[in-house]
């Protein structure tokens, strides 16, 4: 008899064994993008941010043209208006919408407790913050770009025959439009940072509104020499210098304003990263 040997049986994979997934930057970015677009508040708030930019810019241009064609005296706020300044009339309201949604991107997870699941899936933690800031920053950038340029081109058609008329080829106009786009996108990133740092939707929104609107008003109550020295370096004032066409003597020019506003953004992200890494969810 000839002995035969059968090949060793291959072990069937255990059906109960779960495949292992690596936590990579691409996976975290994809996860955060999915979470962002799955929220109804994302669509509503982004829609409001876009609406504020376009609607208020067009309304301001129509009001200016109506005053000019009727022969009425222009309001003091419109006396030195240009197509650029009128098209960016909605930036203060749009920044609130985009900043609030930035807060909700992570503050909402802290409110519901979902942040525990997020950090369990990404134990190193900080990639969660970088991914949320990157994903939402790009989304806010796109919304701001669309809104700012639609508003400007529509206003250019409305105001083409007035003394406020400007075209995109005029000196400084394109730089100012892109400055406004970048400013709004960074406001969204700061919102994400505040939501991470404060871990309360109401508290982070209050901090955002206070930094952008209340603090400049309080600084204006100081003696003029003090106010002129401090105010240009506030986040709102430094950000505004990124997109205004003509700068006052006591304000920063576009380049230094951009550097100061980037510094505020980095500071907010650094504080958020420190708390996320050091504190429990």
pLDDT in tens, 83-124: 999 999 999 999 999 999 999 999 988 888 888 888 888 888
**188-196 average pLDDT score:** 96
Tens-place pLDDT, residues 9-18: 544 445 444 5
Which of 27-31, 48-52, 141-145, 235-239 shows the lowest per-residue confidence on average (mean pLDDT)? 27-31
Report which of residues 9 and 216 the model is more confident about.
216
Show the tokens assigned to 240.
């505004």
Secondary structure of 15-32 as H, E, C letters: CCCCCCCCCCHHHHHHHH
Q: Contact 105/191 with Cβ under 8 angstroms?
A: yes
Confidence of residue 1 (pLDDT cuts 50, 70, 90): very low
Q: Rounded CA gap, 193 and 171, in Å?
A: 35
- Mean of pLDDT values over 207-233: 90
Q: Which residue has the higher pLDDT, 125 or 1?
A: 125
The mean per-residue pLDDT over the stretch 22-41 comes to: 86
Degrees to nearest 5, angle at CA 170 with 166 and 175:
105
How does the average pLDDT of the chain come out, rounded?
Answer: 88
Tokens for 99, please give them. Answer: 């900043």
Residue 220 pLDDT: 85
Q: What is the pLDDT of residue 124?
A: 86
Copy the structure tokens of residue 89: 């009339």
Residue matched to tokens 């003394």:
163
From residue 187, alpha-carbon distances to 34, 60, 70, 136 in Å are 21, 23, 38, 10
pLDDT confidence bin for 248, thresholds 50/70/90: confident
Say what the pLDDT of residue 110 is: 87
pTM: 0.88
What 3 state SS string does 151-201 have?
Answer: HHHHHHHHCCCCCCCCCCCCCCHHHHHHHHHHHHHHHHHHHHHHHHHHCCH
Domain positions in the chain: 41-278
What are the CA-CA distances from residue 167 to residues 61, 74, 150, 242 (Å)?
Answer: 14, 22, 13, 19
DSSP conformational letter for 3: -
Which percentage of the chain shows pLDDT scores above 90?
60
Phi first, then psi, for residue 14 (nearest 5°) are -65, 120
Distance CA 49, CA 91 (A): 9
């Amino acid at each position: 008899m000839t002995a035969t040997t059968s090949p060793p049986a291959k072990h069937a994979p255990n059906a109960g064994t779960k495949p292992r997934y690596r936590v990579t930057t691409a996976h975290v970015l994809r996860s955060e993008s999915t979470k962002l677009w799955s929220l109804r508040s994302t669509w509503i708030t982004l829609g409001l941010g876009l609406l504020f930019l376009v609607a208020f810019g067009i309304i301001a241009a129509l009001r200016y043209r109506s005053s000019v064609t009727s022969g009425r005296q222009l309001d003091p706020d419109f006396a030195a208006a240009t197509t650029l300044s009128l098209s960016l009339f909605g930036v203060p309201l749009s920044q609130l919408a985009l900043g609030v949604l930035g807060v909700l991107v992570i503050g909402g997870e802290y409110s519901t407790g979902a942040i525990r699941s997020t950090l369990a899936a990404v134990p190193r933690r900080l990639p969660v913050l970088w991914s949320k800031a990157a994903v939402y920053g790009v989304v806010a950038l796109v919304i701001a770009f669309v809104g700012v340029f639609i508003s400007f081109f529509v206003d250019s058609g409305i105001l083409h025959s007035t003394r406020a008329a400007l075209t995109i080829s005029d000196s400084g106009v394109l730089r100012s439009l892109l400055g406004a786009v970048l400013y709004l996108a960074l406001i969204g990133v700061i919102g994400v940072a505040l939501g991470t740092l404060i871990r309360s939707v109401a508290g982070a929104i209050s901090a955002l509104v206070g930094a952008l609107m209340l603090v400049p008003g309080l600084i204006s109550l100081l003696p003029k020499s003090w106010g002129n020295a401090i105010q240009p370096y506030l986040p709102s004032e430094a950000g505004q210098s990124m997109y205004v066409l003509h700068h006052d003597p006591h304000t920063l020019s576009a380049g230094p304003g951009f550097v100061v506003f980037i510094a505020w953004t980095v500071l907010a992200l650094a504080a958020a990263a420190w708390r996320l890494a050091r504190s429990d969810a």
